[in-house]
Structure 1
């Protein structure tokens, strides 16, 4: 199963846990409390618990599949191993597409944040140069080695969590219990709407598993890191929502652009607002560093498995032992999308793409179990097929809430990818026949 003997297994439980937390806790946490409060009022805490339960089930599917498939690629590798190259190809494209557009959006948000303090960065030329420095710098760091890349992820994780933890710790004196009291239950429609938004907010931890070929003892490391990562994020989110609601009360929905910075302004004064804005910038940068560490491994997996006929993308640097060509390509795509802009309207389609990958992974768990019957050393979710089946059903429910236009767009995109896949396969077969006409 371990095809990538050229990669170094240097990522342990702490590094993988930090990787998962770093990607999930992105820019969204700095605006999420106001959105939840607007929909749910003071009862928003229950939506966190519900969505935490849902994403935990999905990540359990990743844990089981990750203990069986130990090579790089994450969701793509699991789907490809279970169902073959074509479903694996679709999963990989959906993963890369969703992440690339997300990275481009976050990079632009980071530039806008910097532009608030230094207006010179609002000019188009300077903006593009800064984007190039961000993507180029992260690309170079990850080419040098996964140890350096995962080291930066650990630093970013601590840097982004520190101001949030400090805000939680020092806010308790400013909390009013009256702001946390609720006398009416939210409607089912409101609960569903808030759950959908929060489910997207919890996404991303799966990207932390795409470094499977570089994880030490993955059978034990993957499930432990997932448990630590998801539990930490859930506790953090619940505490942040409680503090925000408790301090600002009914005024919380009014601070949609920077609710946590507004809480910090009450707790620490004007300097608190500035510090939390800086924290948001660090969080965005941390998310980008994690994505550029993880997603190139999907492209690398596609090429190394010959799902796409571009063997150069499977190249490993002779000195640093990293998939440097795939890292360069993914960084280039992210920079190009960020520089062009005009892609934010595709955010929902990108998120739906990740839900399709999750759906494939849930089904892959069932298929891999049948293949690996009798193998006991791998992690296995308890309660039979309950978790993967329930996960798949919930994902279909979320996808059913897409608009007709969005569903049509996804179907057309799948048809285009299918055509491309089989055309490439046909051309590859034709070229081989010409190279070896005698068979």
Structure 2
């Protein structure tokens, strides 16, 4: 059957290979360069279990994303699924959780990871005033890159994405001869609690698989392409991640946790000497810069669109007269990211980003079940997860289990966050009703 354009006049040109590669590129980010040592700190050689937990969960979530997208006629991603299923209040909360927790906190975590990596060469970055200055220059420089030229921003992201994937595969190959079986033995039995805590942190490295599914109207034969593309992407990511953890643990053994900031660079130093170490550190820096630039390229458009639609101050919808970019939205976005970056370290911010994304994913999983029951959204036959509600409910249970490993302070903070934005929503709604009278 020939592919046809959608009701949005988009051509269906994305096949299994394109969807899978897009998913791999979005998931394989900076986290995998620094997380192997942090995860091993709690589980040792048993850290592989955390990867299996995260991989299984992300596959279940991706299937739910595919079904929710197939049964929602509007564009807009995860927050649109939630808004369609549960209404504008839920959509408002989802949008803010996604933007502040899943995006800005993630960017702040990446910025701190970059500072930690560079601290290997510039110890002064361990001093607050120098670190703050570096973060200011980092966010300011990337903001200018994306304000001055969309083309340059996109080009840099593509270059960084290709570079990191090639470097990781090369590192795995050259490190295999240095893996020692003794380093892979479990010296203690992992507990459910330790696995849960490690998986919550590690989930940061698995974020992003759902992003390519936003192009649902451009996917060829979604009933076949979506599940197959997801399966291939998850398989490649899991193979890559487990291989990285295996060679890292197998090469460094008990010394792995001594290299929290640059574990892959330590492996490269053993396999290739100082040039290899310098190469991996350079790739890590490139990957972080690429991920940050990609976020700053795309996510401020949410602020821009919300302001355009009257949900935020109109000034945020301003467009630069020369560069034709949403410069005010970008400026506000990076300012908040900078403030979050100087307020916490990588591990703390990564947990916040993971928890926020998991909370958002829980909303999508529940919306999958709700959308099945809404006849208005089932007029067209779309992709449906097999097994009835078992997969969505299993995914929901897994998310709740991971979130249960948050500390009391973290849970309280998330509760306050949701309450504050709920108040903002209802105040804005009341003010709008008064204006419309």
Please indicate the TM-score interval, normalised by the length of the shorter structure: 0.7 to 0.9
Match of 1:436 in 2: none
Tell me by how many angstroms 1:137 deviates: 1.0
Tell me by how many angstroms 1:84 deviates: 1.5
Does the 8 A contact of 1:80 with 1:88 survive in 2? yes
Match of 1:170 in 2: 174
More displaced 10-residue stretch of structure 1: 366-375 or 273-282: 366-375
Match of 2:143 in 1: 135
The question of 1:43 aligning with 2:46 is answered yes
The two structures, once aligned, show a CA RMSD in angstroms of 3.7
Does the 8 A contact of 1:19 with 1:153 survive in 2? no
Tell me by how many angstroms 1:11 deviates: 7.0
Match of 1:286 in 2: 290
Tell me by how many angstroms 1:301 deviates: 5.8
Match of 2:394 in 1: 390
More displaced 10-residue stretch of structure 1: 352-361 or 401-410: 401-410
Does the 8 A contact of 2:139 with 2:334 survive in 1? no
Match of 2:261, SS?
A: coil
**Rounded Cα–Cα distance in structure 2 between residues aligned with 1:395 and 1:167:** 32
**Rounded Cα–Cα distance in structure 1 between residues aligned with 2:219 and 2:319:** 19
Tell me by how many angstroms 1:280 deviates: 0.9
Give runs of aligned pairs for residues 187-198 of structure 1, distance below 5 A. 187-198=191-202
Gaps of 5+ in 2: none
**Rounded Cα–Cα distance in structure 2 between residues aligned with 1:250 and 1:416:** 45
Does the 8 A contact of 1:70 with 1:218 survive in 2? no
Tell me by how many angstroms 1:255 deviates: 1.8
Match of 2:232 in 1: 228
User: TM-score with structure 2 length normalisation?
Assistant: 0.83
Alpha carbons of structure 1 residues 40 and 129: separation in structure 2 relative to 1, 3 Å: closer
Alpha carbons of structure 1 residues 103 and 3: separation in structure 2 relative to 1, 3 Å: farther
Tell me by how many angstroms 1:420 deviates: 0.9
The question of 1:26 aligning with 2:29 is answered yes
Alpha carbons of structure 1 residues 59 and 367: separation in structure 2 relative to 1, 3 Å: same
**Rounded Cα–Cα distance in structure 2 between residues aligned with 1:96 and 1:257:** 26
Match of 2:109 in 1: 105
**Rounded Cα–Cα distance in structure 1 between residues aligned with 2:7 and 2:113:** 36
Alpha carbons of structure 1 residues 328 and 233: separation in structure 2 relative to 1, 3 Å: farther
Does the 8 A contact of 2:117 with 2:262 survive in 1? no
Instruction: String of CA shifts for 1:45-81, please: whole Å, max 9, x gaps.
Output: 2331222111211121112212333654321111111
The question of 1:204 aligning with 2:212 is answered no
Instruction: String of CA shifts for 1:371-393, please: whole Å, max 9, x gaps.
Output: 25765641111111111111112
Match of 2:210, SS?
A: helix
More displaced 10-residue stretch of structure 1: 175-184 or 49-58: 175-184
Match of 1:205, SS?
A: coil
Give runs of aligned pairs for residues 245-260 of structure 1, distance below 5 A. 245-260=249-264
Tell me by how many angstroms 1:428 deviates: 1.5
Tell me by how many angstroms 1:248 deviates: 1.6
**Rounded Cα–Cα distance in structure 2 between residues aligned with 1:12 and 1:296:** 29
User: TM-score with structure 1 length normalisation?
Assistant: 0.82
Instruction: String of CA shifts for 1:175-226, please: whole Å, max 9, x gaps.
Output: 22232234754233333332332233323333454x5488555946654543
Aligned partner of 2:412 among 397, 408, 433: 408
Instruction: String of CA shifts for 1:342-371, please: whole Å, max 9, x gaps.
Output: 332662444322221111000110111222
Give runs of aligned pairs for residues 337-416 of structure 1, distance below 5 A. 337-338=337-338, 341-344=341-344, 347=349, 348-372=351-375, 375=379, 377-416=381-420
Gaps of 5+ in 1: 434-439
Alpha carbons of structure 1 residues 376 and 336: separation in structure 2 relative to 1, 3 Å: closer
Alpha carbons of structure 1 residues 364 and 141: separation in structure 2 relative to 1, 3 Å: farther
Alpha carbons of structure 1 residues 114 and 5: separation in structure 2 relative to 1, 3 Å: farther
**Rounded Cα–Cα distance in structure 2 between residues aligned with 1:258 and 1:232:** 23
Instruction: String of CA shifts for 1:241-294, please: whole Å, max 9, x gaps.
Output: 111122122222222221111111000001111111111111212222332344
Tell me by how many angstroms 1:417 deviates: 0.9
Does the 8 A contact of 1:95 with 1:357 survive in 2? yes
Does the 8 A contact of 1:64 with 1:381 survive in 2? yes
Tell me by how many angstroms 1:126 deviates: 6.4
Does the 8 A contact of 2:71 with 2:378 survive in 1? no
Alpha carbons of structure 1 residues 265 and 332: separation in structure 2 relative to 1, 3 Å: same
